[in-house]
């Protein structure tokens, strides 16, 4: 500017003459270029910086130096759902946003703070994943199957990976800062899966190794049932979880582990196996309990009479429960003094009767029983003598009471003959012949009680194989 004249002047005729600018403020830049230089150039998908100039309930206005302010809808402010805009930004705050639309149908510039945050976070998350690092963020939401962490974007933490063992109630984790490893990353699907358990396992590796080194097979330990699954129960031993397989829960048959233990139960277990390489502990609950087979063998001997209940019928005989969790086989040849063609001609499931122990194999856990020989009398096991009355026994303990196994009189129809006749009348000749042929085949193959025992053993082996396969699949 000239120092000689600060204002314009007037002529004698009163006409105003503006002052003369003698210095070029713009240099080589044209006036048009100077104006254009004040307007920010950008396109859809670009990242821009601006100042928050207004906050409404459903949107925020951002001055980015464009001809009009940009609009950030409330849903584009944060990765958190249903949050008040004033909790995310404040007037005068400088923030970064991503351009969604340079001009929508209403002529507005639409921006997203959340998307800009995603773009910045993805690069950082990918670097952490590549370096096998750890991310940290607050839990902002409980969703079906797990938690959502704010790690610059929405990270999903499955419920099964929150702790070393599964957590059922996730609500207390809201607001907590958690550290986790990234186990899955898919930018196209905007999917980030985290594992806090992997981080815990990594940080507690030395403690686990020390715990396993001090754990020996055969030891008795106390613990708390932490979870129950179809193939067994997990027990917290105070440092790590061990598994009680369903076959080690009880000496009895177990349909489902929940029938034996529940979460929170305090149990005493025996350590069966410690796999340090795979960090797995196998436990047994039944090993800490009295073996019912050993208990039965200690209190009974071959030749004694015991009272039992028929549990099931098979082609070669019937199984009779004679103790808690103890079943013995009555072979079809030991069911009656007369010829028996089908087990159901003599007994029915649920029926209670006397049987005689004719073989007791503790090692193989097999008991052979006889209804036929029980009818001939014998020494009754001590636990039954008092229950059924002293008048039923002689001085030596032999049973002298009455049995219902009466042989048919001469010329009368036997029980077996009557059963076959009724079967024929009900099902017809063809079904009768098939049943008879099947019986004769089974009767010929069955032989002595030992033969039936082998058949039962084969059936049990098949069941064990199926159970083992199911467990491996689980």
d(CA 211, CA 237): 10
- In CATH, 292-460 is 2.40.50.140: yes
d(CA 176, CA 149): 9
**What rounded mean pLDDT belongs to the chain?**
79
- Residue 39's pLDDT is 60
- Residue 432's pLDDT is 67
How many Cβ atoms sit within 10 Å of the Cβ of residue 189? 8
**What percent of the chain has a predicted confidence (pLDDT) above 70?**
75
d(CA 300, CA 197): 52
Backbone angles phi, psi at 387, to 5 degrees: -65, -35
d(CA 61, CA 59): 7
Give pLDDT tens digits along the chain (474 positions).
445 556 667 777 777 777 665 555 656 666 566 555 556 667 777 888 888 989 888 888 988 877 778 898 888 888 777 788 888 888 988 888 888 887 777 778 899 888 888 888 888 888 898 888 999 999 999 999 899 998 888 899 999 899 877 788 899 999 999 999 999 988 888 889 999 998 988 887 878 888 888 889 999 999 999 889 999 999 999 878 899 999 999 888 888 999 999 998 999 999 999 998 888 999 999 989 888 888 888 888 898 888 899 999 988 999 999 988 788 999 999 998 888 889 998 999 999 998 999 999 888 888 999 999 988 877 877 776 665 555 565 665 555 555 444 445 555 655 556 666 766 776 677 766 766 665 555 444 433 333 333 333 343 344 334 433 433 443
Backbone angles phi, psi at 163, to 5 degrees: -130, 180
In CATH terms, 219-287 corresponds, of 1.10.230.10, 3.40.50.720, 2.40.50.140, 3.90.550.10, to: 2.40.50.140
- Residue 310's pLDDT is 93
- Residue 439's pLDDT is 54
* Four-residue CA torsion sign, 440, 444, 445, 449: positive
- Residue 225's pLDDT is 92
Extended beta strands in 144-231, E state? 146-150, 154-158, 177-186, 191-195, 220-229
Q: Which residues is 195 bridged to in the sheet?
A: 181
For the chain, how many helices (H) and strands (E)? 10, 22
Half-sphere CA count of 254, side-chain side, radius 13 A: 22
Q: Which residues is 393 bridged to in the sheet?
A: 399
- Residue 219's pLDDT is 92
Question: What are the percentages of helix, strand and coil residues in the chain, rounded to 5?
Answer: 30, 30, 40
Backbone angles phi, psi at 373, to 5 degrees: -75, -25
d(CA 156, CA 195): 9
Question: pTM for this one?
Answer: 0.44
In CATH terms, 132-203 corresponds, of 3.10.105.10, 2.60.120.1570, 2.40.50.140, 3.20.20.70, to: 2.40.50.140
d(CA 186, CA 161): 19
Quick one: tokens of 353? 């009767």
Quick one: tokens of 423? 């079967």
| Every domain of the chain and the residues it spans | 1-129, 132-203, 219-287, 292-460
DSSP 176-195: -EEEEEEEEEETTTTEEEEE
Provide CB contacts within 8 A for 440, sequence distance 6+: none
Only one residue has tokens 């609500």, namely 171
Best CA proximity match to 236, nearest among 264, 213, 261: 264
How many Cβ atoms sit within 10 Å of the Cβ of residue 37? 9
Provide the 3-class DSSP secondary structure of residue 42. coil
- Residue 453's pLDDT is 37
Backbone angles phi, psi at 424, to 5 degrees: -65, -45
- Residue 36's pLDDT is 58
Half-sphere CA count of 119, side-chain side, radius 13 A: 14
Q: Is residue 114 within 8 Å of 77, Cβ to Cβ?
A: yes
- Residue 100's pLDDT is 86
Terminal alpha carbon distance of the chain = 88
The architecture CATH gives domain 1-129: Beta Barrel (2.40)
The string of pLDDT tens digits covering residues 66-99 is: 777 889 888 888 877 778 888 888 898 888 888 8
* DSSP 8-class letter at 337: S
């Amino acid at each position: 500017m000239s120092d000689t004249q600060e204002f314009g002047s007037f002529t004698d005729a009163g006409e105003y003459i503006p002052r003369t600018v003698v210095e070029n403020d713009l240099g080589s830049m044209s006036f048009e270029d100077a104006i254009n230089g004040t307007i920010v150039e950008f396109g859809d998908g670009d990242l821009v910086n601006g100042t928050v100039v207004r906050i409404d309930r459903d949107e925020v206005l951002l001055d980015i130096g464009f001809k009009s302010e940009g609009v950030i809808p409330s849903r584009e402010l944060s990765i958190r759902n249903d949050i008040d805009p004033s909790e995310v930004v404040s007037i005068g705050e400088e923030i970064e946003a991503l351009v969604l639309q340079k001009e929508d149908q209403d002529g507005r510039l639409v921006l997203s703070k959340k998307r800009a945050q995603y773009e910045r976070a993805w690069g950082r998350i990918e670097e952490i994943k590549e370096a096998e690092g750890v991310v940290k963020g607050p839990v902002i939401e409980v969703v079906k199957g797990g938690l959502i962490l704010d790690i610059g974007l929405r990270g999903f933490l499955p419920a099964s990976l929150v702790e070393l063992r599964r957590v059922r109630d996730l609500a207390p984790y809201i607001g907590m800062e958690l550290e986790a490893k990234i186990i899955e990353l898919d930018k196209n699907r905007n999917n980030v899966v985290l594992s806090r358990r992997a981080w815990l396992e990594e940080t507690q590796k030395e403690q686990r190794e020390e715990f396993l080194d001090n754990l020996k097979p055969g030891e008795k330990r106390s613990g708390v049932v932490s979870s129950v699954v179809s193939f067994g129960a997990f027990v917290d031993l105070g440092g790590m979880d061990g598994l009680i397989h369903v076959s080690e829960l009880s000496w009895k048959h177990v349909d489902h582990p929940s029938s034996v233990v529940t979460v929170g139960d305090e149990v005493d277990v025996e350590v069966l196996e410690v796999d340090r390489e795979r960090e797995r502990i196998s436990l047994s609950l039944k090993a800490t309990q009295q073996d019912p087979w050993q208990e039965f063998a200690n209190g009974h001997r071959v030749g004694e009479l015991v009272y039992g209940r028929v549990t099931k019928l098979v082609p070669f005989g019937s199984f009779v429960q004679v103790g808690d969790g103890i079943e013995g086989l009555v072979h079809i040849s030991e069911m009656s003094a007369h010829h028996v063609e089908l087990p159901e001609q003599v007994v029915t499931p649920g029926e209670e009767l006397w049987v005689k122990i004719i073989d007791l194999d503790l090692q193989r856990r097999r008991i052979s029983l006889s209804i036929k020989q029980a009818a001939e009398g014998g020494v009754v096991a001590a636990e039954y003598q008092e229950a059924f009355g002293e008048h039923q026994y002689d001085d030596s303990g032999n049973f002298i009471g009455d049995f219902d196994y009466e042989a048919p009189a001469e010329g009368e129809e036997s029980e077996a003959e009557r059963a076959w006749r009724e079967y024929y009348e009900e099902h017809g000749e063809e079904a009768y012949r098939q049943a008879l042929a099947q019986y004769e085949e089974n009767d010929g193959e069955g032989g002595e009680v030992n033969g039936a025992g082998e058949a039962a053993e084969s059936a049990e082996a098949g069941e064990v194989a199926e159970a083992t396969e199911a467990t491996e699949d689980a």
